[in-house]
Amino acid sequence: MSEPMITLTGIDKFYGDFQALYDVNAIIEAGEFFSLLGPSGCGKTTLLRTIAGFEDVSKGDVLIDGNNMAGVPANKRPTNMVFQSYAIFPHLTVAENVAYGLKARGLSKADIGPQVDAALEQVGLTGFGDRASHALSGGQRQRVALARALVMKPKVLLLDEPLSALDKKLREQMQSELRALQREVGITFVLVTHDQEEALTMSDRIAVMFDGRIAQLDDPQTLYRRPVNRQVADFIGIMNFLDVDVKEGTGHSFELNIAGLGQVEIPSEQAPGGRGSVVGIRPEMLTVLTDGQSSEREATGEIKEQSYFGDMTYYDIKLDGVDTVVDISMRNSAGMPQLDVGDTVRVGWSSESVVLLK
Amino acid sequence: MKRAPLIYTALIALFMLFLYAPAILLPVFAFNSSATIAFPLKEFSTEWFVMLWQTETLHGAARNSLMIAVTTAVLSTLLGILAARASARYSWPGQRPMMGFIMLPMVLPEIIVGVSLLVVILQLGFDLSLWSIVLGHVLMCTPFCIAILSSAFMNMDQSLEEASFDLGETRFRTFWKVTVPLVMPGIISSLLISFTISLDEFIIAFFLAGTEPTLPVYIWGQLRFPQRLPSLMALGTILLVLSLVLLGIAEYFRRKGAARTGQTDAGGLI
C-alpha cells in the first residue's frame, strides 16, 4: 500500500476549558473520498479546520503526504477548502475568483488564463468567467468555489458542508457530480457533513463522530450493516433495537436470546463493538411473511399501524411476548395480500442480519 | 395602505417646520440685499458672497478648518479601522468596557472634553495649535468612525478572509485584496462623516484654538458686528450645502456597500 495522504495521530483540541476533540486518530488514503459525519457540535468542522491549518491542534500530529504540518499556516499547506458559505469574493468576477490563488502563487497572466478556463469547464461553468459573482445562483456559487479550489491542484480538497445550502433536488445532483469529479481528478477529498445519506452515497470511507471523538471509521456498507454501538446505529439510517440476553459462546461467537425473536448464535463479526447489551436489526431485514412463504427464522406479531407509500409499505409490529414495537419496511410487489391493523402476522428474519451493539 | 389621520400629518409638518425653517432662512437672507436680517425681503443679490470672497481673515480660517477636518478624518478613520476590525474579529478580556470607554466621547459633553484637553495640553507644556484641535476632534470623531466601520466589518463573511489565506495569500495581502475593498464603502462614509463633524465643531475648537481660529470660531467672532451678519448667512449657506452633499455621498456609498454584499437595507442616515 502506498503512503497515506493524511495521518492524524492523537489529536486533542481545547478552546479554553472546552475540549472539542479527544484523541482523534485516522488515516486517509491518497485518492480517497473521505467523510466526517456527525451531528452539529461533534467536532467534525473543527477537525477539518485543523487539517486546513485554520486551527492549531492542542496535542497530536497532522501529517499531510508525510510532512508534519505543525507550525505550517493554511496558506502554506497543500490543501484547499470549499467553505460552507462558499466565500466567493463578491468584488471579483467569476474568472478573477478562480484566478485568485494562481495569482497569489505569482503565475503570469498567460499561464493563468488557460488554467482558469479548464477549471471552469471542469465544473460546467464554461463562458461564465466574466459574470459578476454576486449575481450567481447557489449552485453556481458552489461550482465557482470548487473550481477556485481545484485549479490550485491541491493534494487534499476539504469540503465543509458544501451542499447544505442547496435545495434537495440540486443537492442530489451535486452529490453525483461531486463524486464523478473526484474520480476524474483523483484528488483526496475530505467532506464534512451531518447528512448520513450524503455521506453513504458519496464516500469511500466515513468517520462517524460524536462529542469530539471518532465513534467508528469504516466503509459505508460496514457502517450501515455492522455499526459498533447504538449511537452510530441510530444516527445512520433506521434501526430497531431489541433487548437481549447474551451468553458467551466459544469466543468466536455469541449465543443470544433476543426478546421477541428468540434464540440465535452469531459470529463475533456481528458484534463489532464486542459483547453488547442490545441487538439491532434494520427495518428492511425484517419481512412480513404471507401464506406459503417461509424464512430462515420466524417470529409472530400484531400489526399496530401501517403506512402505504406506493412503492413501499411501512409496518409497526408488536412482537409477541414483548412490549417492543419494530419498524418493518416492505417493497410492495404483486400478490401482496391486503393486511389490516390488528392482524397477526409471521415476521421473517435471518441470523446474519442482526448486530450486537454496546 | 391606510391614510394617516390628518392630525398626524399636521404634527409631522409642524415638526419639520420647527426643525428645518431656521436652516432654510439661511439661504433666504444670504441672497437678500438688505443689511438687516428682517422681513420683508428686499431684492435678490449676491453681494454678501462677494464680500466673503474679499475677506482675507476668513480665507485663513477656512483653510485651517479644511486642514483640521481632513487630518481628523484620516486619523480617526485609521483608528476606527483598527478598533472596529479588532472588536469584530477577536475577543479579549475587558473587551466590552474597553470599547465602551472608546465610544464614550459620543455622549460626553464637548465642553468637558474641551476644558480638560486644554488643561492637559497646557500642563504638559505644549502650545495650543491646529494640532491640539485635531487631537480633540479625533477624540470626538473616532467613536462615530468605529460605529460605522464595525457594521462594515461585522457584515463581512469571515470565511472570505480565510478563503484568501487558504488560497495562498499572506494575511497582510489578504487585508488589502479582500478586506479593504469589501469595507471600502464603510471607510468612505467614515471619512466623510468625520470630516463633516470636524468641519463645523465649535466648542473644542474654541477652547483649543491658539492664534489661528477655525471657521466656526471665526463666525462666532464676527457675530459681534451686526453689519457682517448677512455675509455670515452666505457663509452658512455654503456650509449647509457642503454638509448635505457630503452626507449624501456617504449614504450613497453605504447603500452601495449593502447592495454589493447582498444585505437588505437596514437603517442608515438618510
Confidence of residue B267 (pLDDT cuts 50, 70, 90): very low
B242 touches chain A (CB under 8 A): no
Average pLDDT, chain B: 85
**pLDDT > 70: percent of chain A:** 99
Between residues A175 and A338, which one has the greater pLDDT? A175
Residue B6 is placed in which grid cell? Answer: 390628518
Rounded distance between C-alpha atoms, residue A154 and residue A101, angstroms: 11
pLDDT at B128 (0 to 100): 79
Is the N-terminal amide bond of B40 cis, ω within 30° of 0?
A: yes
Return the pLDDT at B260.
60
Instruction: Please report residues of B whose CB lies closer than 8 A to that of A54.
Output: 162, 166
Q: Which chain B residues are closer than 8 Å to A85 by Cβ?
A: 157, 159
Q: Does residue B210 surpass a pLDDT of 80? A: no
Q: Are strands A6-15 and A18-28 parallel, antiparallel or unpaired?
A: antiparallel
Contacts of A79 in chain B (CB under 8 A): 166
- A326 contacts A285 by C-beta, under 8 angstroms: no
Helix (H) or strand (E) run with residue A117 in it: helix A109-122
- Phi, psi angle pair for A40, to nearest 5°: -65, 140
Q: Please, are residues A171 and A184 in contact by the beta-carbon 8 Å criterion?
A: no
Question: What average pLDDT does chain A have?
Answer: 91
Position B206 pLDDT exceeds 80: yes
Q: Which helix (H) or strand (E) holds B186?
A: helix B180-199
> A50 falls in which pLDDT band (50, 70, 90)?
very high
Q: What's the pTM?
A: 0.80
Q: Percent of chain A at pLDDT above 90?
A: 67
Closest Cα of chain A to B163: distance in Å?
Answer: 6
A interface test, pick of B164, B167, B182 with most A CB neighbours within 10 Å: B167
Residue B228: which of B9, B65, B36 has the closest Cα?
A: B36
Distance CA B53, CA A307 (A): 90
The three grid cell numbers given for residue A63, joined into one nine-digit string: 501529517
Return the ∠ at Cα A212 (arms to A207 and A215), rounded to 5°: 40
C-alpha dihedral sign at A118, A119, A124, A125: negative
Q: What residue of A is the nearest CA neighbor of B157?
A: A87
| Interval A173-192 mean pLDDT | 93
Return the C-alpha cell found at A3: 503512503
pLDDT of residue B261: 54
CB B199 within 8 A of CB B205: no
B37 pLDDT tier (thresholds 50, 70, 90):
confident
Four-residue CA torsion sign, A261, A263, A265, A270: positive
Confidence of residue B125 (pLDDT cuts 50, 70, 90): confident
Read off the pLDDT of each residue in A287-309 and give the average, rounded to a whole number: 89
